[in-house]
Amino acid sequence: MCEHEIERKVALITSGNSDTEQSFVHTDHLDRDPETSHQTRERALNAAIVQANISESFEEHLGIFDAFYADDIEVSSETQEEVIRGKARVRALLCDFLIPLHIMAEIGGLQVSIRQIALPGDAAGETHSEWTLDLVGVSGRTCTLSWRALRKWNGSRVVSEHHYEHQQSGGPLTMADLSFDVLEQYDSASEE
C-alpha cells in the first residue's frame, strides 16, 4: 500500500464524542489551522493504528509509520537509555516487533487487539495517549501490555515519541499458547 493510499485510509477519523460517528476529513485540509492540525493528525494516526489488522498484514502498519512520522524522528522510552534516531532505525525496530506478531496472529492463532484513549495535554504541538495491547492465545491465556505515549508534532509529522508508564498483566505467552499444528503436520509429512 503506497503512502497516498495510507493517507486516504487514515483520513477516516472518529468525530465528536460518539464512538460510532465517523466523518471523512480530507488530508489536504489538515495543515491549514496550526492549532488543530496536530490534534486532527493525532486522531487520524491513532484511528489508523487501531483499525489496522496485524493478522492480515504488518505492511499496513509500516505504511502508517511512513505516512505520519518525520525522517528525523526520535523515539525514547523510560525503560531504555538510548534514544532511537532516524526513520530507518525506528522502522527496523518496528519491523522486529511487527513481523513476529503478524506470524503469531496469522499462523499461530494469536488474537491481537489494541485500544487507545486520548489524554489531555498541556503544551502546544504535543499529544498524549494511553494504549492497551491485548494478546490472547489459543489456550485462552492472556497477556495485556499498556503504556502511555507522548508525541511531539511539527506540522503534519511526528518528530518525537516517548513511551512511559509501561505495565504488563499476565505472563508472557509461550508456544503452548499458540497453534502451529499446520507446521507440525508439514514436518510429519516431510519425515515420511
Q: Give the Å distances, CA to CA, from 140 to 56, 98, 103.
A: 21, 22, 18
Q: For residue range 64-99, list pLDDT tens digits in order.
A: 999 999 999 999 999 989 999 999 999 999 999 999
Helix (H) or strand (E) holding 179: none
- How many helical (H) and strand (E) elements, i.e. helices and strands, does the chain have? 5, 8
Percentage of the chain exceeding pLDDT 70 = 75
Residue pair 11/44 in contact (Cβ under 8 Å)? The answer is yes
The predicted model scores a pTM of 0.76
Phi, psi of 2, rounded to the nearest 5 degrees = -80, 165
Residue pair 136/110 in contact (Cβ under 8 Å)? The answer is yes
